[in-house]
Copies of this chain bind each other. A is one copy, B any other.
């Protein structure tokens, strides 16, 4: 099977042209005509993912390996170190980032992982009615996402309407129309801003809220790959953080 066949399948599933201007989703490494023997799925690349992958395979990730275009390849940064390994093992890389956030990931995490009743949603933000005690709701979220640490801004004892953006969504604070916002990678100034606006926050972790990408993609591709006598394998990248 050629890379272009699965590229086309993925493009129908979640069109790459839906990606944001600053994004770099698509076939980042490898050629559309390459033959592939295995398909791996992971939130991100890391050293272990690449060590475990067979040569002449394809890896599908959520986050693009390359954001800032490369003028020098010196093997001293995340992108250039892993690029070398991909090339050496003839592994192709397709990333499905903001196009997939819009078409699948955000709603999947809200509904299937967090069990929220989706009320409405725009491109990146999913809304649900909750009407629960804040502390209980926070505990519930932590449990469902298996969060090792708890970080929150609590503006009220009750959560009425919740907004969800997986990954790092605080740049969307101006559009949030809810009293509680769930997202990851919340910084101190974001918390100050939300606190003044009386919007509660629960930090759901960037990794913890998005590693569900892998089983979701697996489910969506499985049948198609099987027909083509291929198997997708989840080789999950690890959370780089230790907590205690």
> A residues within 8 Å of B by Cβ?
24, 26-32, 44, 46-47, 63, 66, 68-78, 81-84, 87-88, 149-154, 168, 184-185, 187-189, 191-197, 205-207, 239-244
A31's partner among B74, B78, B194, B205 (CB-CB below 8 A) is B74
Contacts of A239 in B (CB 8 A): 188
What's the number of copies of this chain in the assembled complex? 6
Cβ contacts under 8 Å, A242 to chain B: 150-154
Chain B: CB-nearest residue to A243: B151
A152 shortest CB reach to chain B, Å: 5
Q: What CA separation (Å) do A63 and B192 show in the bound complex? A: 11
Complex contact B77–A197 (CB within 8 A): yes
Shortest CB-to-CB span from A24 to chain B, Å, is: 6
User: Quick check: A240 and B195 within 8 Å, CB to CB?
Assistant: yes
Instruction: Please measure, in the bound complex, the distance between the C-alpha atom of A207 and the C-alpha atom of B30, giving whole angstroms.
Output: 31
B87 touches A73 (CB 8 A): yes
Q: Which of B30, B63, B188 contacts A75 (CB 8 A)?
A: B30
**Within the assembled complex, what's the spacing in Å between the Cα atoms of A160 and B83?**
29
| A83 (CB) vs chain B CBs: closest residue | B73
On whether the beta carbons of B28 and A240 are closer than 8 Å, the reply is no
Residue of A75, A153, A192 with most chain B CB atoms under a 10 A cut-off: A192
